[in-house]
Amino acid sequence: MILQAYSAQPVSQSSAFHGKKSNRMVAIGPIGLPLSRLFAEKVIEECKIQKISKVDILAFDFEMGLFPNIWDEAKKEGIDLALKHIPKEIFDKRAVEKNEVVFHDVSYIDFKIHFEKRRLSVELSDFSTYYSQGESEDQIKKILKNGREKIIVQAGKIIKIAKDKEGNIARKVLTQKWTDWIDYWSVDFDFENKKEIIRVKDEKSNKIKEKWTGDYIFENE
């Protein structure tokens, strides 16, 4: 089903590769586990043996610290390595049959921590948001039905393409500033089950007492 959704043809002559799409070999990572560096290195080694220059690795999750070094290692060997997330829509048979499943390229973020006295700051030093959608914007405009819209990620921007009932196309860039990229975030300082205690002054004794607010320091809802 994964190969079908990726529009790839299955192959059986190799233990490292599961399919082929156009001129690129396709390898599928483990189900239920992050794709490890060892797995990626095995695929790169097999590419060297079989003299393969282009390969896509599909996985549900990836080991931390894998990027961007693994791309550099593959590039040194003359291998064009693409790593793509397998989306949750893969389990929707109707979405697969309608060719609606989109595999996004892996993005990465690199940052530095600065700590001075009691002040902590985080510096964004590098990032990549260049996803591959599988279909170009022109292709989407052709197949998009009237009254429908589609979100794509292209050249580091999130774009909404909409077609009205008359067939007119409207294109809108949704990421105007960096905060538009943030879908959700939270900060957990390991206090998920710790009661939120505040200090209040007792009116009678004029002393500071601790009081539970009824909430917890961090409660993800």
> What is the tens place of the pLDDT at every residue in 60-112?
999 888 887 898 899 999 999 999 999 888 888 888 888 778 888 887 777 88
Q: Say if residue 159 is in the same domain as residue 190.
A: no
> Distances from the Cα of 194 to the Cαs of 188, 214, 221, in angstroms?
11, 11, 15
**Which pTM does this prediction carry?**
0.59
Domain containing residue 32: CATH number: 3.30.750
Q: Say if residue 15 is in the same domain as residue 41.
A: yes
Q: What is the mean pLDDT of residues 154-168?
A: 84
Range of the domain at 217: 186-221
Domain assignment present for 82? yes
Does residue 59 contact residue 50 with C-beta atoms inside 8 Å? no
- Boundary (domain end) residue, out of 86, 106, 126: 106
Q: Say if residue 150 is in the same domain as residue 220.
A: no
Nearest to 170 by CA among 195, 132, 140, 200: 140
Q: Say if residue 64 is in the same domain as residue 142.
A: no
- Cα-based angle 30, 152, 108 (whole degrees, multiple of 5): 50
Q: What is the mean pLDDT of residues 187-212?
A: 81
Domain count for the chain? 3
Q: Say if residue 47 is in the same domain as residue 97.
A: yes
